[in-house]
Amino acid sequence: MALDVSSFYKKNSANTDNLLVSVAGWIEGKLNLLKFDKYFVILRDMTGSIKVQLTAAERTSFQPLLIKGTAITVTGKVCVEQDNNATSQYIIKDVVKIENAHDTHDSRLREKESSLLTNKIVRVCSNFLDENEFLQFESNLISTYDYESYHSYKDEGLSALDVVYTGFGAPAKLIVSPAKQVSSFMFSAMKPRAYTVATSFTSSYRFPSTGSEMKIIVAKATDIKDALQFKTLMKTLTLKIFANLAPQKTKITISDVDGGVWDNSFDKLKPRDDFACISYLANIPIYQAKNDSTRIEQIIHLQDTDGRLLLEGSREVNENLTVSTLTIYPTLFLSSLMKNPLRVLRNLWSDKA
């Protein structure tokens, strides 16, 4: 949006009477500068945002449409102003008309924005893991793995979605997590670090406001022995995502919290004053097999101020090896960045074949 408006202005700036434009998006926020008698609406679309300045009369006239989250079309004149840092910015003034966009257009616009931002989050995560020498591979979406034998899934009430297809010769399911595939790849490729971008499918809700189809990134490392180094990795990635993708410049702080002993309860995911990296001591066997002594000894949750679980870490140990596992939830990052509940991000009932 901002790029299109700036290009339009540069082409037509010689003729100040020909600077009328119409831009569409939804209201991301409002700014009321009473001291300067100025009122702004921040209009956003998939490509960026732009400020719309309204006079008192214009604000009164269009008040019913000036609701945060509403999709609107604004017709007005493009102008250039300088902010407090003497940086030129394009705004829309002398508003002629504001119209309510159609509800279908509103939902499609939001869905496209959500999809675009999710892809950006995944790209930032992938670049970060690549920079930290994690090797990426393509994981499978269908598996014959018996998730019911994995304590962690059963304790959290997760159940896999069945695949009704006889060609596999065995019961098949859509994956809940590619964690086992990451381990297999890492050891077969003889690499200490690996990750994959996948989709998690489950017929039960693990977190509030999430659905049965969820984008996740799972990374594992056998050469991160220090728990502090692992927590630093999680916090650095979170800060990087918000620094690069937050709609407005948002400075976040992440506090280290001792969560005590893990008790398989997600009630701890509650709103806080700032972002929190919470460490729990644990003693959870991973497999039911008696000859496998692998246990989870530490669980780390990184959540935002509203209690969303953005990243989840665990440290698995046995007599021979320590494996650090990082699970990243891009859709929860998306919800945190946009301050929207997840269930409005995608409407499955509107999908067309």
Q: Partners of 100 in the beta sheet?
A: 72
Model confidence at 203, pLDDT cuts 50, 70, 90, reads low
Q: Which residues lie closer than 8 Å to 337 by C-beta, 6 or more apart?
A: 117, 121, 241, 242, 245, 246, 247
Q: What is the DSSP letter of 329?
A: -
Q: Which residues lie closer than 8 Å to 339 by C-beta, 6 or more apart?
A: none
Lowest-pLDDT range, 66-80, 185-199, 282-296? 282-296
Lowest-pLDDT range, 70-79, 185-194, 210-219? 210-219
* Dist CA 146 CA 287 (whole Å): 11
pLDDT score, position 276: 92
Average pLDDT of the chain to the nearest whole number: 77
Dihedral, CA atoms, 246, 252, 258, 262, nearest 10 degrees?
A: -10
CA atoms within 13 A on the CB side of 43: 30
pLDDT score, position 331: 85
Highest mean pLDDT: which range of 9-13, 35-39, 40-44, 148-152: 40-44
Which uninterrupted H or E stretch holds 127? helix 103-131
Query: Over the stretch 82-121, which tens digit does the pLDDT of each residue have?
Result: 666 656 677 888 888 888 765 444 555 566 667 788 889 9
CB 330 within 8 A of CB 215: yes
Lowest-pLDDT range, 69-78, 258-267, 278-287? 258-267
Angle at CA 248, nearest 5°, toward 244 and 253?
A: 70
Query: Over the stretch 160-187, which tens digit does the pLDDT of each residue have?
Result: 666 666 666 666 777 778 888 898 899 8
For 108, the token pair is 């499609």
* Dist CA 308 CA 241 (whole Å): 15
The closest of 244, 308, 248, 254 to 277, measured between CA atoms, is: 254
CB 312 within 8 A of CB 104: no
For 263, the token pair is 């008790």
Domains of the chain: 2-101 (2.40.50.140), 108-342 (3.30.930.10)
Our measurement of the distance from residue 341's CA atom to the centroid of its chain's CA atoms, rounded to an integer in Å, reads: 11
pLDDT score, position 272: 80
- Output 340 or 181, whichever has higher pLDDT: 181
Dihedral, CA atoms, 7, 11, 15, 20, nearest 10 degrees?
A: -40
The fraction of the chain above a pLDDT of 90, given in percent, is: 24
pLDDT score, position 87: 63
